[in-house]
Amino acid sequence: MVARISRHKKMRFLLCLLTALSMALIMRQVQAEIVVIGHNDIAVDSVTFEQVEKLWLRKLIRLPGTGKIKVVDQYTANKSYAAFYNKVIKKKPVQIKTYWAKVIFIGKAFPPAQLADDSSVVDWVANTPGSMGYVDGSAVNNSVKRLLTVK
């Protein structure tokens, strides 16, 4: 015997499905933007993907017109960490771990220090001259300078 689903139940199911899809899209948009931020004293108003990659991989330590740049990472378990390395550096977190293992082994450089979350990064960058970090776009405020926005 074939069970019949009432029209009311079908409509309720479709409404729930549309609500869930809408919420998923909204959450994706909220978390989709990564912003590279800098201390307000940094002489540049923007940076390129190439400059950011070289700064975070310690292949570059200065930008035009600036002194030495100090960069900071987020904890590897943080969602901003994975988003930054996937979208900006174009490497998976496991590739970054391998990269730093090799670089540390040959004594060439050390990875950036890690902070707990977006608000810690914003506070550190705002209070550390010559510094840069990355955060979810929703965490950016006027205490730091937006240098690169990636959606």
| Domains, the chain, with CATH or none | 33-150 (3.40.190.10)
- Cα 90 from Cα 53, distance rounded (Å): 9
Alpha-carbon distances, residue 50 vs 63, 89, 90, 129 (angstroms): 12, 8, 11, 22
- Cα 60 from Cα 53, distance rounded (Å): 9
Provide the pLDDT for residue 70: 97
**Two structure tokens written together for 88:** 């900006």
- Cα 76 from Cα 114, distance rounded (Å): 8
Coil, helix or strand for 126?
A: helix
Cα-based angle 130, 123, 104 (whole degrees, multiple of 5): 60
- Cα 45 from Cα 38, distance rounded (Å): 9
Count CB atoms within 10 A of the CB of residue 25.
10
- pLDDT tens digits, residue range 7-60? 767 667 665 555 655 555 544 444 569 999 999 999 999 999 999 999 999 999
- Cα 3 from Cα 121, distance rounded (Å): 56
- pLDDT tens digits, residue range 47-95? 999 999 999 999 999 998 889 999 999 999 999 999 999 999 999 999 9
Provide the pLDDT for residue 16: 58
Work out the percent of the chain whose per-residue pLDDT is above 90.
77
- Cα 56 from Cα 60, distance rounded (Å): 8
What pTM does this model have? 0.78
Provide the pLDDT for residue 28: 46
Task: Transcribe 23-80 into DSSP letters.
Answer: HHHHHHHHH--EEEEE-TT-S-S---HHHHHHHHTTS--B-TT--B-EEEEE-TTSHH
